[in-house]
Amino acid sequence: MWTRSNLKSGAKSVLKSNYWLSLAAVLIVNVISSAFSGLSVTGIRDYMTDYTLFMQGAMPIEEFQNITMQMTGPIIRSYIISLIVSIFIIVPLSVGRVKFFLRAADGENSLGNIWNGFKTNYTNVVWTMFKRNLFVSLWSLLFIIPGIIKAYQYIMVEYILADNPDISSHDALIQSREMMKGNKWRFFVLQLSFIGWVLLGFITCGIGLIFLEPYMEATYTQFYLTVKSQGITVQAAEA
């Protein structure tokens, strides 16, 4: 049975020899994701600025109504672009980041692994993550708590795909569900155990969070590898 202390010790051991490379991997993925996200939400951001002015009484209602009519089309386009960017660019990058940390845990330190989501069965990675996110979103629309539970049920899909990009979407979802049986609350507590460091990161205007992220990701990778080592397979899940 794993403990938070063991997982964090394993993460520290991995980062001891490649922390700065891990930080570079996190920064590259975050910068690229932020750049594409920023391009896709410009119209929405501008409209929210006008909305704030209206709510503060600094803009007449007639002017705000005209802006709303003019911005409806651009906002819809921005949302569609944002969705496309997330599905086809940000998601594979996220899987690639996980791949980097999985390889790092095996002693392979290469920044090239962050592009793995694009290079290895890209279509399957995109489709599987789309299904995962769709399931979680639909459950969240129905009820908040079940949505959160589903999010934790399928939280390992990224790791499973990074580890085995050829696995079918059906099997990846099943395997994540089986891996998280009895572990959802424990994984939540594992995430919560970083709260002190996260608060410290906010105090430093977010700079501390940048340096914390490799440690968190390495710890979650240790979780995946530990639970995987318990012999949970798709075949066992379906039996």
pLDDT tens digit string along 86-101? 899 999 999 999 999 9
In the structure encoding, which two tokens stand for residue 215, read together?
A: 């440690």
What does pLDDT average to over the chain? 87
Rounded CA gap, 138 and 142, in Å? 6
Question: What is the pLDDT at residue 235?
Answer: 40
Residues of the chain with pLDDT under 50: 233-239
Residues of the chain with pLDDT > 90, as a percent, come to 64
Nearest to 105 by CA among 219, 229, 25, 233: 219
Question: What is the pLDDT at residue 236?
Answer: 38
Question: What is the pLDDT at residue 66?
Answer: 76
**CA angle 52–76–87, rounded 5-degree value:** 110
- Each residue's pLDDT tens digit, 148-171: 999 999 999 999 999 999 999 999
Give the Å distances, CA to CA, from 114 to 90, 96, 146, 231, 232.
12, 4, 32, 27, 26
Q: E strands along the chain, which residues? A: none
The pair phi, psi for residue 110, each rounded to 5°, is -140, 125
Question: What is the pLDDT at residue 75?
Answer: 66
Question: What is the pLDDT at residue 169?
Answer: 96
